[in-house]
């Protein structure tokens, strides 16, 4: 007799049995995102590597179609190659991590040698899937595979929404090491806590294949059957095409009789995406609103932690609040994941995460017309995601992308350290135009009417026609421009590493004024009503008159880090001791909030510095310190 837990798990398996068969055969991942710092154990062999390339950050969007060819949903896939020890300790769900340990580093002495050596002989990967149906309902699954000398094995699956685990004992052999024509293989075992299983696969065809993903000369068609040995047995079938260097290019799901149930095909249309719910004016907060109450009512609290690995890593971007319903806050750390935390409550929980092949140094740009976000990474790509965490497309450039993109209608603009400025179609990621500057571009662009303004390390500010890429004007500064360009009305403000802030006519590039700050400025200036404030590399907070650049005041008592923020008619900056300080326009301190009073040295490592400065959104102020702790300041 089954226990209630076993019966519940079997019911879940019955509901997802078709997807289980698909998971058995979608472990092949491709696209050249391999990173040299990822662990490189001995692979199972050249045949498996040929058809099932293991690539970190492989991301793709697949359309799900019914037997009539009608699109019924989408599957976003995002692959993470995990260092085995850290992955088992921090990254994997406990049940799946325990299953890997039980097989490759058991504590019962059944394997000779130390556990570390065994774990170094495997490649651990997690495939993150987000399925969205036509109603916008999302199901998130984390599928764990191990690649080793005997082939590629499916360890198990975790479903986020139901908090359920499906663990195979022993793991299912997804692909053997000598994968090729006429090959067949099978696995038998149990699904822990539920029932037995049998998985059978064989290669039934080999040759070229033409799909929406392109034309491939060397492909294998694999047919698989997964049987749950319940009473009565439940059987489902699947078929896939694996192509050399690309992995799985299409998949089919069949019932026990062989009738087609679903097809998974590449390059689906996103025109039918259910629109993301956005916050509107009224009772809900508008995107850029700061706290509307008096500062006396604000309080500072820990909101979330951007470091989920347990390894000490720093944050790489300032928090970004997005006006979706429910709202989220985006954050990132050096491990390359973009994290989305729910901002409904004062303590955020993780909603979704997306993995890149590098680190993210550009805050995402939000596109409310499409419900999308765009951001770059050090894997030399600009990414487009739906705000619900589904991968849409990416665009490869020649070097790191460290600028925050700018969205102008149907166009996304950004710069790269490959010296170029790019304009892409916001829907497809297709290149519209590119322009070359004289050095790396890490400054974030700003939109001024029909122009995109951006700085370069060659010491110039460039103004490009957004539609054509034609250079409208350029301005030669006296040092590299790395700080974001800020446009307020008809004036553009550009700060240089040589320590100058310049005000330019946005339409013509004509110089209005230049003021020497002293030390270099790498953070965005903040524009208020009649004033501009900056923080320089010496940590000085300086306020200048917006009309002529004359110095109004400077705070000599503290050293600051990160960009300042204008909140109403006040100025907020965070000093290097981690204290939020609020000033009036005359430079008088109004209030302060110390992070050191809210978390101890054990959590911060005595590092309270906020290297990016505060941001604003949803009626609160947000910031992240060097230890990747996210803070919320507000009522």
What confidence tens digit (pLDDT) does each residue in 569-584 have? 899 999 988 999 999 9
How many angstroms separate the Cα of 350 from the Cα of each of 130, 340, 343, 347, 354? 14, 6, 10, 10, 11
Number of structural domains, the chain?
Answer: 2
Are both 77 and 135 inside the same structural domain?
yes
Interior/surface letters 529-568, b for 16+ CB within 10 angstroms, e for the rest: eebbbbbbeeebbbbbebeebeebbbbeebebbbbbbbbe
Are both 59 and 204 inside the same structural domain?
yes
pLDDT one-digit tens code per residue, 370-422: 999 999 999 999 999 999 999 999 999 999 999 999 999 999 999 999 999 99
Are both 318 and 218 inside the same structural domain?
no
Q: At which residue do the structure tokens 């991301």 appear?
A: 59
Are both 302 and 259 inside the same structural domain?
no
Domain that holds residue 451: 295-634
Residue 314 neighbours by CB distance under 10 Å: 17
Are both 251 and 299 inside the same structural domain?
no
Q: What was the pLDDT predicted at 285? A: 45
Q: Which of 212, 246, 266 is the last residue of a domain?
A: 266
Are both 236 and 341 inside the same structural domain?
no
E strands, 177-292, are 184-191, 195-211, 214-228, 234-243, 247-254, 260-266
Q: What was the pLDDT predicted at 212? A: 77
Q: Is the pLDDT of residue 190 over 70?
A: yes
Q: Are the C-beta atoms of residues 613 and 574 closer than 8 Å to each other?
A: yes
Q: Are the C-beta atoms of residues 193 and 166 closer than 8 Å to each other?
A: no
Q: What is the CATH number of the domain that holds 358?
A: 2.130.10.10
Q: Over range 115-123, report the average pLDDT.
A: 75
Q: Over range 235-262, report the average pLDDT.
A: 93
Q: What was the pLDDT predicted at 27? A: 45
pLDDT one-digit tens code per residue, 424-439: 999 999 999 999 999 9
CA distance 202 to 281: 57
Give the tokens for residue 323.
């006006």
Q: Over range 598-607, report the average pLDDT.
A: 56
pTM of the model: 0.93
Q: Pairing relation of β-strands 59-65 and 138-148?
A: unpaired
- The answer to whether residue 282 is domain-embedded is no
E strands, 427-518, are 431-436, 446-448, 451-455, 460-465, 471-476, 486-488, 491-495, 500-505, 511-516
Q: Over range 328-337, report the average pLDDT.
A: 91
Model confidence at 284, in pLDDT bands (50, 70, 90)? very low
Average model confidence (pLDDT) for the chain?
A: 89
Are both 235 and 315 inside the same structural domain?
no
Model confidence at 34, in pLDDT bands (50, 70, 90)? very low
Residue 13 neighbours by CB distance under 10 Å: 19
- The answer to whether residue 502 is domain-embedded is yes
Q: Is the pLDDT of residue 286 over 80?
A: no
Q: What was the pLDDT predicted at 88? A: 72
Q: What was the pLDDT predicted at 4? A: 54
- The answer to whether residue 567 is domain-embedded is yes
Are both 388 and 454 inside the same structural domain?
yes
Q: What was the pLDDT predicted at 600? A: 56
Are both 237 and 322 inside the same structural domain?
no
Q: What was the pLDDT predicted at 606? A: 55
- The answer to whether residue 546 is domain-embedded is yes
Q: What was the pLDDT predicted at 631? A: 93
- The answer to whether residue 60 is domain-embedded is yes
- The answer to whether residue 324 is domain-embedded is yes
Are both 302 and 354 inside the same structural domain?
yes
Q: What was the pLDDT predicted at 354? A: 97
- The answer to whether residue 155 is domain-embedded is yes
pLDDT one-digit tens code per residue, 523-553: 999 999 999 999 999 999 999 999 999 999 9
- The answer to whether residue 337 is domain-embedded is yes
Are both 242 and 325 inside the same structural domain?
no
Are both 305 and 255 inside the same structural domain?
no
Task: Return all residues near 75 (Cβ < 8 A) that are at least 6 apart.
Answer: 61, 62, 63, 64, 129, 130, 131, 264
CA distance 194 to 7: 7
């Amino acid at each position: 007799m089954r226990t209630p837990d076993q019966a519940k798990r079997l019911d879940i398996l019955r509901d997802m049995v078709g997807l289980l068969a698909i998971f058995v055969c979608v472990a092949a991942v491709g696209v050249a995102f391999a990173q040299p710092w990822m662990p490189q154990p001995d692979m199972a062999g050249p045949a498996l590597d040929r058809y099932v390339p293991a690539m970190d950050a492989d991301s793709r969007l697949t359309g799900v179609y019914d037997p009539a060819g009608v699109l019924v949903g989408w599957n976003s896939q995002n692959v993470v190659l995990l260092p085995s020890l850290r992955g088992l300790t921090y990254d994997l769900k406990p049940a799946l991590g325990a299953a890997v340990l039980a097989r490759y580093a058991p504590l019962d002495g059944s394997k000779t040698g130390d556990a570390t050596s065994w774990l170094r002989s495997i490649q651990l990967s997690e495939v993150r899937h987000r399925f969205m149906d036509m109603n916008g309902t999302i199901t998130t699954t984390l599928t764990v595979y191990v690649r080793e000398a005997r082939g590629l094995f499916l360890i198990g699956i975790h479903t986020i929404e139901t908090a359920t685990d499906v663990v195979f004992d022993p793991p299912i052999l997804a692909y053997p090491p000598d994968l090729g024509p006429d090959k067949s293989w099978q696995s038998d075992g149990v699904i822990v806590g539920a029932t037995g299983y049998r998985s059978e696969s064989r290669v039934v065809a080999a040759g070229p294949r033409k799909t929406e993903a392109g034309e491939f000369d060397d492909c294998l068609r694999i047919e698989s059957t997964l049987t749950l040995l319940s009473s009565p047995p439940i059987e489902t079938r699947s078929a896939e095409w694996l192509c050399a260097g690309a992995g799985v290019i299409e998949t089919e799901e069949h019932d026990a009789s062989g009738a087609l149930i679903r097809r998974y095909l590449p390059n689906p249309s996103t025109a039918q995406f259910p629109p993301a719910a956005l916050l509107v004016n009224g009772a809900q907060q508008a995107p850029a609103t700061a706290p509307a109450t008096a500062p006396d009512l604000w309080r500072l609290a820990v909101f979330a932690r951007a470091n989920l690995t347990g390894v000490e890593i720093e944050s790489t971007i300032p928090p970004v609040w997005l006006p979706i319903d429910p709202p989220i806050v985006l954050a990132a750390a050096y491990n390359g994941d973009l994290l989305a935390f729910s901002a409904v409550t004062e303590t955020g929980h993780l909603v979704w995460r997306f993995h890149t092949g590098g680190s993210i140094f550009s805050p995402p740009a939000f596109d409310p017309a499409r419900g999308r976000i765009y951001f770059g990474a050090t894997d030399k790509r600009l990414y487009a995601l739906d705000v619900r965490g589904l991968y849409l497309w990416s665009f490869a450039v020649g070097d790191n992308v460290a600028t925050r993109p700018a969205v102008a209608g149907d166009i996304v603009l950004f710069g790269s350290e490959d010296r170029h400025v790019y304009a892409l179609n916001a829907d497809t990621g297709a290149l519209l135009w590119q322009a070359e500057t004289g050095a790396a571009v890490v400054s974030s662009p700003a939109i001024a009417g029909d122009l995109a303004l951006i700085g370069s390390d060659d010491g110039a500010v460039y103004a490009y026609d957004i539609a054509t890429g034609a250079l409208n004007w350029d301005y030669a500064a006296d040092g590299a421009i790395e700080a974001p360009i800020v446009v307020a009305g008809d004036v553009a403000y550009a700060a240089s590493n040589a320590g100058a802030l310049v005000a330019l006519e946005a339409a013509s590039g004509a110089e209005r004024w230049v003021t020497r700050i002293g030390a270099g400025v790498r953070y965005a200036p903040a524009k208020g009503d009649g004033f501009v404030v900056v923080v320089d590399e010496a940590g000085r907070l300086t306020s200048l008159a917006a009309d002529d650049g004359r110095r109004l005041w400077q705070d000599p008592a503290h050293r600051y880090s990160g960009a300042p923020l204008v909140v109403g008619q006040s100025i907020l900056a965070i000093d290097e001791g981690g204290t939020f300080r609020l000033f009036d326009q005359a430079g008088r301190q109004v209030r302060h909030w110390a992070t050191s009073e809210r978390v101890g040295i054990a959590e911060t490592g005595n590092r309270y510095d906020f290297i990016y400065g505060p941001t604003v959104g949803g009626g609160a102020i947000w910031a992240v310190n060097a230890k990747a702790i996210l803070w919320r300041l507000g009522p």
